[in-house]
Each structure stands twice: as C-alpha cells, then as structure tokens.
Amino acid sequence: MTELNLNPEKVGNNHTKNKVSLELNHPQHGTIPHFCGGVLIDKNWMLTAAHCVVNPQFVLPHPNYWKARLGEHNLVSHDGTETKIDIKEVYYYPWYHGYDNDIALMRLSEPVPDSSSIQPICLPNESDKFENMLCTASGWGKVDFGSKASEDLRAVSIQVFDNSKCAVYTQRFRIAIQPFHLCAGTFEGGKGTCQGDSGGPLACKTERGWVLAGLTSFGSGCAKRGFPDVYSRVSHFLSWIKQMRGY
C-alpha cells in the first residue's frame, strides 16, 4: 500500500535504542528478516503500522508470525547489542481502514532486558502538535524505489507541516487528510521514507527529550519532489494505547 525510505544517511549506534525491525515468519511465505519498522514505547510494548499486520496479500494479525529485532544497527552484522523477542499479542486500531487510523500495538513475549542500547521512546502529550519542527524519520527501508532494502539503519531530518500541505496533493488520489494524520517531509524531494520504512518512528526532540510524533504510514513514492509523506499522529491514539496496555 505504501511506498515509504530515506535518503542514504547512515546513523550511529546511539540512534538505534528504540527502533524495531519486525521479522515475519509466515507458514506459506517463509521468513522475511525485515518486513516493517516499529518503535519501542516501554519494556513490554511496541507500535507499528496497522497495514504491516493486516494487508491485502495476506492477513497477518497472528502474534506467532512475528519477532521484534531490537538493538539493531546493521541487520546482517552483530555488534553484541541485538536481541530478538517473540510477539505475544497484536492489536490494530478497530477503525483502521486503508489510509486511516494506521496504527497497531504489539506486546512482547517478555520484557526487554535492561540495556543501555535498548530504550523506549517517550509518547507525546495529547496537546503536542509538532508543526514546523524539524524531526527525524528512520528505518531500514529502500534507499530509492528501485533498490533493495537497506542493511543499515538510516535516518533523515524532515519538517513537520500543517496537514493542509499534504491535503493539497492527496485529494487528487481521493485520500482525505484527517486529524489522525501527520504531514512531514520536503517539497524539494530527496528526503523522505520508502518501502520497508512502514511503521517506523518519526521522532521530534523536545524539552522532554525525543518524543514519538508519528508512525510511517504512506506516501506517493520514495521522496518524490513536491510530495511530503503522511504519518499516523500518535497523540491522536493515546487513549487507545492506554486502554490496550492497561495503563
């Protein structure tokens, strides 16, 4: 559904702490080492995009299909910081449909071990808007549309816009931008998300530290000129996240 990666800028190990690479182990399609991105929000829970776990090709809400790879930087090399944890529960937002409410919550089968290399990101406050801030999107997706997925975690700094900026171009595809969307990117092209980045974080640095503003949801291509990307606005879903976690 989405074509979501980043202009090729590798990031250091200190940026990997809350990032998750989702591994898919499907009985018919086999193992896909990196299927989608995600982000750790506490020792037991992570967020990703709903379209990663429910999609037209195959329905994948089954927790036993998934493993969370944490502490990763390069997906094929080992630095001693990595850990892989099974997924115990998968929930996607009940009103998820197509481009709307694209968020899913995953419970890990065991708490993340205490480690300086694996730490959760702060959730936003309901009042956080992030408009006009320079924030960071990250993931292991494709570097450009025709390439393969990146082995290294990559990141890019992009601006958060008022949603009306994205509405101008999404309306030509008959996609309505809603309050649960977040618009971010660049109109010059060359910076944005691509296939394989879905579900990964858009993080903004505030006085509270790095805060999760959005989850990579959809775009018109890989950082095309004139087309910023659309994220799921995490602050819109705080009540649901609290309800599902029980706190």
Residues 21, 138, 198, 217: which is the catalytic one?
198
Task: Find, among 160, 197, 156, the residue nearest to 182 by Cα.
Answer: 160
Phi, psi of 165 (to 5 degrees): -65, -40
Burial 180-193 (b: 16+ CB within 10 A, else e): bbbbbbbeebebbb
Residue 62 catalytic? Answer: no
Residue 51 catalytic? Answer: yes
Residues 21, 34, 73, 102: which is the catalytic one?
102
Q: Given the structure tokens 């379209």, which residue do they identify?
A: 51
Q: Give me 205's structure tokens.
A: 């640095």
Residues 51, 73, 181, 236: which is the catalytic one?
51
Pinpoint the alpha helices (H) of the chain.
Answer: 50-53, 163-170, 238-245
d(CA 29, CA 106) in angstroms, rounded, equals: 21
d(CA 167, CA 174) in angstroms, rounded, equals: 10
Tally of CB atoms within 10 A around 168 = 13
Q: Which residues are catalytic?
A: 51, 102, 198
